[in-house]
A and B are shown apart, each in its own frame.
Chain A
Amino acid sequence: DAGVTQSPTHLIKTRGQHVTLRCSPISGHKSVSWYQQVLGQGPQFIFQYYEKEERGRGNFPDRFSARQFPNYSSELNVNALLLGDSALYLCASTPLGGYNEQFFGPGTRLTVL
């Protein structure tokens, strides 16, 4: 079975641009979460979606938004990029929206110049 997939693998943007990151969960998983991992730190929770509805939101500015599609894939959008947005963006999927193991994708490495 395929694991969580994310695209693109790497991305370079300049300040002020916007970016869209994509995630496909494991087949049969209905919940997707997004995390930001800055170099040298642990991942930080951004959003969780379950059955296309937002279930949780971390302490991130409104420049960050996300959505989940009927096929349970998800997009993370970041507007007006700042240098500090440079990070590894991780997507994780779980079968349900509750307390289950989360399976992480390989991440998208975003560099903002």
Chain B
Amino acid sequence: RKEVEQDPGPFNVPEGATVAFNCTYSNSASQSFFWYRQDCRKEPKLLMSVYSSGNEDGRFTAQLNRASQYISLLIRDSKLSDSATYLCVVTPGNNAGNMLTFGGGTRLMVKP
């Protein structure tokens, strides 16, 4: 079983739609949680951190459920520019420094 699992998609949605991505992780001791965005043939960039209380940044909302080991990302009012691969990322709970464990990514394509 992979440490971080995501539905690879692609999710094809029209502009203005709301889309949700889910992610599960296997290590219950995981400490920190993130969503990264990666455009085609570019480096990953931090989209947002994910907190147990849930957090929002404009059109983006992230949720963490530690009991179910589940992370979600909601994008409202999708824009063409949101088309990218979204990577779910966790850090381990052991003394492994700042090692990031990535999921395989979920590809989003927003259509006009």
**Interface residue B46 (Cβ < 8 Å from any Cβ of A):** yes
Known contacts: A42-B87, A107-B43. The answer to whether A102 contacts B102 by CB under 8 A is no
Known contacts: A50-B97, A55-B97. The answer to whether A99 contacts B102 by CB under 8 A is no
**Contact with B104, one of A42, A58, A94, A104 (Cβ below 8 angstroms):** A42
How far, in whole Å, are A102 and B45 apart by their CA atoms in the complex?
A: 9
CB-CB < 8 A to A100: which residues of B?
Answer: 98
CB-CB < 8 A to B45: which residues of A?
Answer: 104
Task: Output the least CB separation between B45 and chain A (Å).
Answer: 7
**Interface residue A101 (Cβ < 8 Å from any Cβ of B):** yes
Cβ contacts B90-103/A at 8 Å (1 or 0 each): 01000011111111
Known contacts: A42-B104, A44-B102. The answer to whether A101 contacts B97 by CB under 8 A is no
Give the size of the chain B interface in residues (CB under 8 angstroms): 20
Known contacts: A42-B102, A42-B104, A44-B102. The answer to whether A98 contacts B97 by CB under 8 A is yes
Task: Output the least CB separation between A60 and chain B (Å).
Answer: 12
**Interface residue A33 (Cβ < 8 Å from any Cβ of B):** yes
Cβ contacts B68-82/A at 8 Å (1 or 0 each): 000000000000000
Contact (Cβ within 8 A) A102 B104: no
**Contact with A104, one of B32, B43, B98 (Cβ below 8 angstroms):** B43
- Which residues 27-67 of A sit at the B interface, judged by CB distance below 8 A? 31, 33, 35, 40-45, 48, 50, 55-56, 58
How far, in whole Å, are A61 and B87 apart by their CA atoms in the complex?
A: 25
Smallest CB-CB A-B distances: 3 pairs: A42-B102, A104-B43, A55-B97
Additional A-B contact list (6), CB under 8 Å, known A33-B100, A42-B103: A33-B98, A41-B104, A43-B100, A48-B97, A55-B98, A104-B45
